[in-house]
Homo-oligomer: A and B are copies of this chain.
Amino acid sequence: MATESKSLGTLTAPRAFISGLDEHVGQEVTIKGWLYNLRSSGKILFPQLRDGTGVVQCVALKNTIAPELWEALKGLGQESALAITGTVRADERAPGGYEIDLRTAEVFNEVRDYPITPKEHGTEFLMDHRHLWLRSRRQHAILKVRHTVVKAVRDFLDNDGFTLADSPIFTPAACEGTSTLFEVDYFDGEKAYLTQSGQLYNEATAAAFGKAYCFGPTFRAEKSKTRRHLTEFWMVEPEMAYATLDDVMTLSERMLSYIAARVLDSRAEELKTLERDPARLEAIVPPFPRMHYDDAVKLLHKGHDEGAMETRFEWGGDFGAPDETYLSGNYDKPLMVHHYPAEVKAFYMARDPERNELALGVDVLAPEGYGEVIGGGERATSLQFLEEQIALHQLPKEAFEWYLDLRRYGSVPHAGFGMGIERCTAWMCGIEHVRETIPFPRLMNRLRP
Contact = CB atoms under 8 A, between A and B. Distances in A.
Each complex incorporates copies of this chain amounting to 2
Contacts of A447: 170-172, 186, 190, 192
Q: Which of A108, A139, A151, A439 has the most CB of B within 10 A?
A: A439
Given A147-B164, A150-B164, 7 more contacts: A1-B408, A2-B383, A2-B409, A111-B408, A131-B405, A132-B409, A167-B439
Contacts of A438: 166
Interface in A37-82: 51-53, 79-81
Contact of A210 (B52, B114, B190): B52
A448 interface: yes
Q: Which 6 A-B pairs have the closest CB atoms?
A: A52-B210, A402-B449, A131-B204, A134-B208, A32-B242, A52-B209
Interface string A219-233: 101010000000110
Contacts of A439: 165-168, 201, 204-205
A410 B223 CA distance: 37
A219 to B, nearest CB: 8
A61 to B, nearest CB: 25
A135 interface: yes
Contact of A241 (B52, B171, B212): B52
A108 B32 CA distance: 62
A24 to B, nearest CB: 15
Contacts of A223: 187
Interface string A114-141: 1100000000000001011011000110
A97 interface: no
Nearest to A114: B409
Interface stretch (A177-185, A317-325, A389-397): A177-185
Contact of A408 (B2, B234, B241, B406): B2
Nearest to A20: B161
B410 A83 contact: no
A53 B161 contact: yes
A217 B218 CA distance: 11
Contacts of A53: 161, 209-210
Nearest to A5: B381
A370 interface: no
A52 to B, nearest CB: 3
A25 interface: no
A430 interface: no
Nearest to A186: B447
B81 A412 contact: yes
B184 A163 contact: no
Contacts of A109: 381, 407, 409-412
A334 B14 CA distance: 30
Contacts of A1: 408
A197 to B, nearest CB: 14
A144 B165 CA distance: 9
A410 B115 CA distance: 12
Nearest to A214: B439
Contacts of A383: 2
Contact of A216 (B217, B410, B445, B448): B217
